[in-house]
Amino acid sequence: MFVLLAAMHCGFFIFLHIGYFPLVSIAGLTVFIPTLFWERVAALFNRNHTYDNVIMYYDGDCEFCKKTCLIIREFSVLRNTDILPAQSQPDIYQLLLKENSWVVKSHKGQLLLHWNAVVYFWLYSPLFWPLGVLFSLPFMKPLGRLLYGCIAVTVKASVSSQGYSCLIVRMPPIKCM
């Protein structure tokens, strides 16, 4: 069924010239693709890679932080990544407090913080690796840090207005455009 509807929208795109409507419609149709398909695609991408020792640490008192880590894990298609509260490891928790950042332990045992942790997940994601390559370039790192800071400031405003406490967003304000 999905294939027929997608083919119809491809025909719209080719013959009717109605802008982005067919592409948006095809993207919307992807919700009807069965779970089995996505699991097989993920298994295909993860077949040749072992990232079993990747751990994301978040502030255990912050439900928002936990949900963000879960979303990052799902969209990066690195399902073997463990997500743990930083309070479970005293040294990691001290680093989280000192840096005001989530902490990611890479599959090589390296601890990553702030924007470097985001780039790490993008680099090893079968879907988002082009973004990882782009933002790991030296001239893109300042832009990435600025973007990370702007998101943190925005999250701080929305989280504090709802009465939550969240360590990751307690950063000094950064001037966003």
Summary mean pLDDT of the chain: 78
CB 56 within 8 A of CB 83: yes
d(CA 159, CA 58): 16
Q: What percent of the chain has pLDDT over 90?
A: 8
Radius of gyration of the chain (CA): 19
Boundaries of every domain in the chain: 2-33, 49-169
Q: For residue 166, what pLDDT is reported?
A: 45
d(CA 44, CA 47): 5
Q: For residue 81, what pLDDT is reported?
A: 83
β-bridge partners, 103: 57, 113
Q: What percent of the chain has pLDDT over 70?
A: 79
What DSSP state is assigned to residue 14? I
Tell me: pLDDT of 30 over 70: yes
Tell me: pLDDT of 164 over 70: no
